[in-house]
Amino acid sequence: MVKSKSKVAIIGTGFVGASAAFTMALQQTANELVLIDVFKEKAMGEAMDINHGLPFMGQMSLYAGDYSDIKDCDVIVVTAGANRKPGETRLDLAKKNVLIAKELTQNIMKHYNHGVILVVSNPVDIITYMIQKCPVFLSEKL
């Protein structure tokens, strides 16, 4: 059952973020779902694709937005990050994704006022630790 007026944001609309958005739409996990990506056209395309099927799945407001849209989110799902390339070590990936996570954390901090932050980006332990160190976030919400 969907909580009344529940809102979820997904940051990153690559394979994981787009799959999460589609699944949330199928399950009617929230009343409102916002997709955020550094490539705005990618987020818009994913939102349009899923919206084409929404009449068959139920009622949900699903759209591409920006960081200002997270201010009332109950859940913020962080899927943004670089893909691991062949021969690349976990540490190499961590270096790239920590830079991405720092930037998105700064953007989240400008608008965050409550809600759970679910980190899916790899390496998840390092990214979660880095985000947790931001003073605005309560560790039990991450």
**Structural domains in the chain, sorted by start:** 7-141 (3.40.50.720)
Q: Which phi and psi angles does 8 have, rounded to 5°?
A: -130, 140
Q: Cβ(46)–Cβ(15) under 8 Å?
A: no
Q: Cβ(62)–Cβ(54) under 8 Å?
A: yes
Order the strands of the 32-36 sheet from edge to edge: 61-64, 32-36, 7-11, 75-78, 116-119
Q: Which phi and psi angles does 52 have, rounded to 5°?
A: -65, -30
Q: What is the pLDDT along the chain (142 residues), one digit of tens a residue?
A: 455 679 999 999 999 999 999 999 989 989 999 999 999 999 999 999 999 887 777 788 999 999 999 999 999 999 998 888 899 888 888 889 888 988 988 899 889 888 899 999 888 888 888 888 776 655 555 5
Give the bridge partners for 64, in sequence order: 35
> Using CA atoms, how far apart are residues 132 and 63, in angstroms rounded to an integer?
28
